[in-house]
Amino acid sequence: MFDKIKSSYALVQRNFNMVRRDIGWELVFIVYEVVNVLTIGFIGVNGPKETMNERVLYLVAGALLWGFLSALFHEVAESVAWERWEGTIEYSFMAPQPRGVYMFGVCMWGILYGFVRTAICLAAVTLMFRISLAGANLWAALLTLAASSLAFIGMGLAAAVLPLISPEKGSPATHIFQALVLLVSGVYYDVSVLPAWVRPFSHVSPATYTLRAARAALLEGAGLRALAPDLVMLLVLGVVLIPFGFAVFSAGERYAMRTGKLKRNG
């Protein structure tokens, strides 16, 4: 077991080295993300002063959580497309390790990377808006983030199959999927404003429960008892989506090996 975790660490170390080599681009992405979160936060500055903290926190919490979840989803879902682009997919996939070891490493990196980016954004936002987190239950918010990671890893695993089975169209399709989750999950608004026919989709998106629980923890200081229904739902989605995503990915890999698509581009 320890050996498998050590092998998974190969992915974390490799991606860390890539970030180090591309530090210029990473800075560009982080600056863009910080500016994006600040821009969204400024929308909340408009309006009555006494409720400004709540409004800004509501919007900023949405932007930060979405930043974390989309980074995690992106890292997992794009892992295959990235290997294909670099030309390393055959070498990585013929390593004598169960596929779970590879995907575990990808997920660990996704969580770490998303967490660091989100922490940088949070620091920038706190400095800019001087948000008061006095009444917030930060531990409950962090627990919500951890619970939601499982469901997003499951979704990412299922989405990672798209670049595997369709080398050219798979990667853009993951972006469409990500955009739809953004639309239905109430990142910047309450899902009640969605048209009636769209609303049912919000019930199957883990981001809906994440945002609702995290906002309750940050804005109202809600404790675990109050958040239990959303946390349980997130855990259920995680328990269902991770094996589902892995099964979809494994089936996709078998299809790619049968049809000759497990190869580099070009």
Which C-beta is closer to other proteins: that of 203 or that of 263? Answer: 263
Under the criterion CB under 8 A, does residue 259 sit at the interface with other proteins? Answer: yes
Question: Can you tell me which residue has the tokens 């094996």?
Answer: 243
Which C-beta is closer to other proteins: that of 26 or that of 54? Answer: 26
Under the criterion CB under 8 A, does residue 166 sit at the interface with other proteins? Answer: no
Which residues of the chain form beta strands (DSSP E)?
none
Q: What is the total residue count of the chain?
A: 266
Site pattern 84..123 for other proteins (x: CB under 8 A): --xxx-xxxxxxxxx---x---------------------
DSSP-assigned states of every residue in 152-220:
HHHHHHHHHHHHHH-TTTHHHHHHHHHHHHHHHTTSSS-GGGS-TTTHHHHHH-HHHHHHHHHHHHHHH
DSSP-assigned states of every residue in 149-170:
HHHHHHHHHHHHHHHHH-TTTH
Report the alpha-carbon distance of residue 228 to residue 27 in Å, rounded.
37
> In this structure, how many other beta carbons lie within 10 angstroms of the beta carbon of residue 209?
26
Which C-beta is closer to other proteins: that of 35 or that of 257? Answer: 257
Inter-residue contact 96 to 10 (CB < 8 Å): no
> Candidates 12-20, 58-66, 73-81, 202-210 — which segment interacts with other proteins by CB under 8 A?
12-20
- Closest approach of other proteins to the CB of residue 260, in Å: 5
- Closest approach of other proteins to the CB of residue 93, in Å: 7
Which C-beta is closer to other proteins: that of 11 or that of 107? Answer: 11
- Closest approach of other proteins to the CB of residue 46, in Å: 44
Q: List CB contacts of 137: < 8 A, sequence separation 6 or more.
A: 217, 218, 221, 222, 223
Contacting other proteins (CB under 8 A), which of 3, 24, 46, 197? 3
Residues 68-87 close enough to bind other proteins by CB under 8 A:
86-87
Which C-beta is closer to other proteins: that of 78 or that of 230? Answer: 78
List of residues contacting other proteins (CB under 8 A): 3, 6-7, 9-11, 13-14, 17-18, 21-22, 86-88, 90-98, 102, 254, 257-260, 262-264
